Amino acid sequence: MTEIGYYPGCALHGSSNDYETSARACLAALGVQLREVTDWVCCGATAAHALNHKLSVALPARNLALAEHDGFREILAPCPMCSMELLKARQEILADEALRAEMSSLVELELRGGVNVLNLVQALQSAGIDRIKAAVKKPLDGIRAACYYGCLLTRPPGVVRFDDPEQPRSMEAIVGALGAKTVDWNYRTECCGAGLTMANEETVLELSHRILTNAAAHGANCVVTVCPMCHVNLDMKQADIERRFNAKHKMAIYYLSDLVGLALGLSEKELGIDRHFVART
């Protein structure tokens, strides 16, 4: 069993704890054990950079320092916002020795910037596409998935460099290894409204309706994501979307780890899929 660090962020211990269940179960089935970073703090998410730039670096920098202190060479941050904030902070402190020294003082831990940050797609890539394919027990031959990257997973391109920011294909390769089909569609990197789900629900409903409509129009019977906020907007909000636009989407929304886990023989309960709002049809 390989052990890597795990930074859950606020969502995976809260509203998206089904994602944590899924990621842990899926990776464990592939021989990857997650050990949570000790005493982690919020990465700053969408707000810190608008209020105080130094704070927006210090919050993720503390988590990087804690990961180094725990002896990790790499950590998984499943939330794309979290992984992006951690990567941005790491890039800044590696490029500026004075900033690195200042951040070490602020977070009260030595900070070297030596921890590599992975998102879930990268963690699965590291486990190995061939290894995943060989471990499949129940091929997903009935799945036609629209792989939804959202607006953050592959961006900004100067910080996140694991896939093409405009035409990504990494999720399609993993889903294809499970025996499922993927569709070519127009909204794979469009925004669902993200955190506006609380402040401006109407915008979220409209953007998410467009995503669901386009996925169905291209033949998908499910949408696959690795973002907890995208999952909330497309899954939990789907009933509100249907009422607002007099539509009947009934589109199952999966985390990528859900599909991998199902193909590896894990149950919906083991993966937390039974806690999703839209049932598989």
Domains parsed from the chain with CATH numbers: 2-120 (1.20.1050.140), 138-275 (3.40.50.11810)
The 10s digit of each residue's pLDDT in 46-82 is 777 778 889 999 999 999 999 999 999 999 999 999 9
Label residue 45 by pLDDT band (50, 70, 90). Answer: confident
Task: State the DSSP code for 275.
Answer: G
Q: pLDDT, tens digit, for every residue of 152-192?
A: 999 999 999 999 999 999 999 999 999 999 999 999 999 99
* Lowest mean pLDDT segment, chosen from 42-51, 101-110, 195-204: 42-51
**pLDDT score for 197:** 79
Q: How confident is the model at residue 107 (pLDDT cuts 50, 70, 90)?
A: very high
When pLDDT is averaged across residues 229-245 and rounded to a whole number, the result is 97
**CA dist list (Å): 272 to 31, 114, 133, 144:** 19, 33, 22, 21
pLDDT tens track for 8-26 = 999 999 999 999 999 999 9
Task: Round to whole Å and give the CA distance between 136 and 130.
Answer: 10
Average pLDDT (208-236) is 97
Mean pLDDT of the chain: 96
Write the CA distances from 254 to 81, 143, 237, 247, integer angstroms: 18, 11, 14, 20
pLDDT band at residue 281 under the 50/70/90 scheme: low
Nearest-5° angle of CA 3, CA 40, CA 233?
90
d(C-alpha 258, C-alpha 254), whole Å: 6
Instruction: List beta partners, residue 117.
Output: 75
Percentage of residues in the chain with pLDDT exceeding 90?
93
Q: Give me the pLDDT at residue 279, please.
A: 82
Write out the E strands in the chain. 2-6, 32-36, 74-76, 116-118, 144-147, 181-182, 222-225, 252-255
